[in-house]
Structure 1
Amino acid sequence: GSSGSSGFRPHFLQAPGDLTVQEGKLCRMDCKVSGLPTPDLSWQLDGKPVRPDSAHKMLVRENGVHSLIIEPVTSRDAGIYTCIATNRAGQNSFSLELVVAAKESGPSSG
């Protein structure tokens, strides 16, 4: 370790665990990360980048909490999500599994 290097690598203060969400509902993953300089966050599903679109939104709140919001959740959203925080001092990540439960189909489910 060199002395006098400014900055420290990202560290997740808060990270979600595995989730089970019903199809068609809202799924939200909140995490909070510290680091200097402020880390960039990227999300991956099964190793492929999650791209923001009408159903996938990435938010940052004033208190520093980053959220990935999926609404509506579909069966193809299921899988292993990895959140990677990167800055010039290093990088850190966490993973969780999202399970998508089938929609309740009325009383005549077979």
Structure 2
Amino acid sequence: LNLADERDFPPRIVEHPSDVIVSKGEPTTLNCKAEGRPTPTIEWYKDGERVETDKDDPRSHRMLLPSGSLFFLRIVHGRRSKPDEGSYVCVARNYLGEAVSRNASLEVACE
């Protein structure tokens, strides 16, 4: 066993989210996978604001999957309120640092 392999290392993003266009009311997933030791925590930001998921609010329509991906049960989109449309990044953090994914835009397809 090579002990050098057991050293902690900062997060790196191994799968970045990609742009999606989704119809209102449809489910979708923004992928994000990160590695690091210790295992990084993943947070999502939309237009610079942290995204609330089911861990923050059990009634949320957005879930943080075990892989780190962001799953939308259904896209919420109204004339006045467009809570899901925007530019997303995922941020993976551990005590050694953080890694930020590429931006992915989520657009809601016109009816």
Q: TM-score, normalised by structure 2?
A: 0.77
Identity of aligned residues (%): 32
4+ aligned runs moved over 3 Å, structure 1: none
Confirm whether residue 54 of structure 1 aligns to residue 60 of structure 2: yes
Counterparts of 1:1-110 in structure 2, within 5 Å, are 6-52=7-53, 53-60=59-66, 65-75=67-77, 76=82, 77-94=84-101, 95-103=103-111
Deviations 1:34-83 (A, max 9, x none): 101110100111111111243111110xxxx2221112102311101111
The 2-side partners of 1:69 and 1:32 are apart by 13
In the TM superposition, what is the alpha-carbon distance from 1:30 to its structure 2 partner?
A: 2.0
Aligned AA (1:27)? T
Aligned length: 95
Aligned AA (2:88)? Y
Structure with the higher fraction of residues in strand conformation? 1
The 2-side partners of 1:55 and 1:80 are apart by 18
Structure 2: which 5+ residue stretches go unaligned?
Answer: 54-58
Structure 1: which 5+ residue stretches go unaligned?
Answer: 104-110
Q: What SS does the aligned partner of 2:104 have?
A: strand
Q: TM-score, normalised by structure 1?
A: 0.78
CA RMSD of aligned residues (A): 1.6
2:18–2:31 contact (8 Å) kept in structure 1: no
The structure with more radius of gyration:
1
Q: What SS does the aligned partner of 1:66 have?
A: coil
Worse-superposed segment, 65-74 or 41-50: 65-74
